[in-house]
Chain A
Amino acid sequence: MRLAKRIAEAVGPDMTPMIDMTFQLIAFFMFTINFSDTEQDQRVTLPASELAKPPDAPYEHPLTIHLTEDGEFIYASDVYRSLDELRSALLREKQIIERFALEKLSNVTIVIRADENARTGQVQEIIQLCQELKFERFALRGKQAEVHRIRSD
């Protein structure tokens, strides 16, 4: 019996849709990549304000202190439960800045990211503590509000 000669063809999966989708994903990630060194913490819900606009230029030497609703201070990813503990951490930072002459203390900006339900007195305590350590510049951080929080009468 004579068998018909079968021609073996290269049958492979069609890669085109996968490559298309992968390029789409790369394009998305490339356009949304953010190299800015912003310190955000999910434990803090910032108060909203329509005037809270990002600064025109990044701060020269920012030090970010977070204050949670429960009154915990977060500085450099460490949680401090009392103001004295925070004072020790900031004192170390101050000594490093002064010893290595990285920056004048008056040029250092203390960025305060306080929760919207945090106690105002604790924010003032942070400011007072930093003032005692000779820091002068403060930035109270809020999230940008799309809707107007204050309606004019």
Chain B
Amino acid sequence: MKIRHTDHREDLSLQMTPMIDIVFQLMVFFVFTFKITLPEGDFNVRMPAETGVAAAPSETPVLRVRLRAGPSRDLAGVQLGDVAITGDNPFGQLQTRIRSMVDDSAGPGSADQEVEIEADYDLKYQYVMNAMTAITGYVDPATGQPHKLIEKVRFAPLPKQP
């Protein structure tokens, strides 16, 4: 018996063109939607407008932090209450004093304590951010974990324009 030879082998090649098309479409999409975002974070402040109605008196008095600006708009002095903080590391000292006032050894800091920051108009904003960092918490150098000190921070009202 004659066996018909049916095995006509043809050149079977994988069609790459559609796949490459799709891959390039995907790449163009990702390239155009790519945006570089730097890690950012917030300090949350709740400051309702003064309504004229006196708020419920707090048991703990409000701590006042005064930041003064020099002629070049840099920091000229820090004051916590009536105590002037001097030295080359004023925010470190401010943090140490706040930590001694708010005992955080047993856990997070005080939930009731409130701090009011009074800064000069021309002061560079970075010093206010440093002050807020010193007041609201610190990062434990051993564990790298943040610890909270005082969360309620607000700004003193701006002086009235003459």
Contact = CB atoms under 8 A, between A and B. Distances in A.
Interface of B: 11, 13, 16, 19-20, 23-24, 26-27, 30-31, 33-35, 37-50, 67, 73, 89, 91-93, 95-96, 119-130, 132-134, 136-139, 141, 146, 155, 157-158
Contact of A144 (B13, B39, B67, B138): B39
A137 B138 CA distance: 23
A151 interface: yes
B47 to A, nearest CB: 6
Interface string A59-97: 000000001000000000000000000000000000000
B25 to A, nearest CB: 10
Interface of A: 10, 15, 19, 22-23, 25-26, 29-30, 32-34, 36, 38, 40, 46-55, 67, 106, 109, 111, 114-121, 123-125, 127-128, 131-132, 134, 136-144, 148-153
B27 A25 contact: yes
A1 B157 CA distance: 106
B137 to A, nearest CB: 5
Given A47-B126, A149-B130, A120 B42 contact: no
Given A40-B37, A152-B96, A120 B125 contact: yes
Closest 9 CB pairs of A and B: A121-B121, A52-B41, A29-B30, A139-B42, A47-B129, A131-B49, A116-B126, A47-B126, A144-B39
Given A50-B139, A139-B42, A142-B43, A120 B11 contact: no
A46 B39 CA distance: 11
Contacts of A128: 157-158
B64 to A, nearest CB: 15
